[in-house]
Amino acid sequence: MDYGPSTMDYHPCTKVNEYQLTKKKSLLHKAGGQEDNMKVAVVGATGLVGTKMLQVLEERNFPVTELVPVASERSVGKEVEFKGAKYKVVTMADGIAAKPAVAIFSAGGGTSLEWAPKFAEAGITVIDNSSAWRMDPTKKLVVPELNADALTAEDKIIANPNCSTIQMVVALNPLHLKYTIKRIVVSTYQSVTGTGKKAVDQLFNERRGEEGPMAYKYPIDLNVIPQIDVFLDNGYTKEEMKMVKETKKIMRDESIRITATTVRIPVIGGHSESVNVEFENDFDLDEVKQLLADAPGVIVQDNPAEALYPMPLWAHDKDEVFVGRLRRDESQPNTLNMWIVSDNLRKGAATNAVQIAEYLASKGLL
């Protein structure tokens, strides 16, 4: 989907500081060995994440020998484009009958709960973007930079974490390994693209002064909505508790204390996060910057003198996680403030899922 303004493509390359080096390869393993027969199903191929998934598979040259686009009954027969060819959308049942090696799902939790086991039973590896399987103790919750090594050929349903969680753990993990995180306080500023097509339409309808279906209870343009997903009995939203639980599972550390406030803002380029992190051990700020600069998938944009810091405007359609505003919390010891931005449709969803598929293919696990 093209969101328009060409300023989205502007990248502050002219403003690089010593930490914002050349664009790093975010990962890792390029697929190999299975090139001859890699039939790939994209379930939810007509949605925001699914469309990005097709783009990322193509860009990263994942060795797709045949694409099987799947969506709801509403879309059966519609065409999607992949590598210059057109493919007709098929039903779930036809998706299974096509016997792909891997099915990348982004079609909502209910669809995943019902259909992922059926794909898995047919021997198809499912990588699922919904929240359906993330906290299931029998399923792996994977961010390849952190824990792809846990995957085996027996993992037939693999969960992709929540978008806000992925970008946070990619940035925090190198610091956790060095200084040991005690507590995280995170506030998010999340893009409407995180809600799906209907929300993007709501924002642009409002901007044009047109009526249309509402993805949110309230107007989103010129507004800020401090609710993402439903409220739970403890007063937190489900999105906030996803960040709490998923972070501990991915980082394999139940002792990390974390509290979150998640907020929707009228932005499309990606999610932003203000993160206050307390460590067991003290840190050196220059070393923090270097650890982040060296971390896979992370780019440091931190030069206050030149007003250089991550923004959704620049993170839009990029695979990396951008980190800046790095500064010591002067109110208590061993504590760092940081600002983390990433495109939720990329690293928060499609890129992470494709990276998992690349890892599986490179290890002969598909």
Ligand X SMILES: NC(=O)c1ccc[n+]([C@@H]2O[C@H](COP(=O)([O-])OP(=O)(O)OC[C@H]3O[C@@H](n4cnc5c(N)ncnc54)[C@H](OP(=O)(O)O)[C@@H]3O)[C@@H](O)[C@H]2O)c1
Q: Closest CB to ligand X among 14 and 74? A: 74
Q: In DSSP terms, which residues pair with 271 in a beta bridge?
A: 342
For residue 276, list its beta bridge partners.
185, 337
Binding of ligand X by 50 (CB under 6 A): yes
Nearest residue (CB) to ligand X, 175 versus 345 = 345
Question: What would the x/- binding string for ligand X be over residues 123 to 142, using CB under 6 A?
Answer: ------xx------------
Distances (CA, A) of 361 to 121, 140, 150, 356: 19, 17, 15, 9
In whole angstroms, the minimum distance from the beta carbon of 19 to ligand X comes to 27
Nearest distance in Å: CB 100, ligand X:
15
Options 12, 47, 63, 266; binder of ligand X; rule CB under 6 A = 47
Neighbours of 34 (CB within 10 A): 18
Range list of β-strands (E), 45-100: 66-70, 79-82, 85-88
Nearer Cβ to ligand X (183/197): 197
Reduce the DSSP state of residue 287 to 3 states and report it: helix
Q: How far apart are CA 313 and CA 275, in angstroms?
A: 19
Residue 13 annotated to the active site: no
290 and 16 Cβ atoms separated by less than 8 Å: no
State CA 283 to chain mean position distance. 28
How big is the chain by its Cα radius of gyration, in Å? 20
Residues 340-359 that bind ligand X (CB under 6 A): 344-345, 348-349
Reading phi first (left if > 0) and then psi (alpha if -120 to 50, else beta), residue 280 is in alpha
Upper half-sphere CA count for residue 124 (Cβ side, 13 Å): 29
Task: Indicate whether 46 belongs to the interface with ligand X (CB under 6 A).
Answer: yes
Query: Does residue 163 belong to the site contacting ligand X (CB under 6 A)?
Result: yes
Which of 11, 13, 29, 163 is catalytic? The answer is 163
Cα 167 to Cα 352: distance, rounded to the nearest angstrom: 10
Q: How far is the CB of 35 from ligand X (least distance, A)?
A: 27
Shortest approach of ligand X to residue 284 CB, angstroms? 35
Give the pair of three-digit tokens for residue 278.
């307390």
Handedness of CA 277, 280, 286, 290 (dihedral sign): negative
The DSSP call for residue 214 is: -
List binders of ligand X among 67-126 (CB under 6 A). 71-72, 74-75, 92, 106-109, 111
Part of the chain binding ligand X (CB under 6 A), chosen from 44-52, 141-149, 240-248, 316-324 = 44-52
Say whether 163 is catalytic. Answer: yes
Nearer to ligand X by Cβ, of 159 and 291: the residue is 159
**Part in contact with ligand X (CB under 6 A); list of ranges 46-54, 119-127, 202-210, 332-340:** 46-54
Token code pair at residue 124: 């198809």
| Residue whose CB is less far from ligand X, 12 or 194 | 194
Nearer to ligand X, 134 or 363 (CB): 134
Count of residues touching ligand X (by CB under 6 A): 28
Minimal CB distance residue for ligand X: 47
- Contact set with ligand X (CB under 6 A): 44-50, 71-72, 74-75, 92, 106-109, 111, 129-130, 163, 193-194, 196-197, 344-345, 348-349
Which residues are designated catalytic? 163, 271
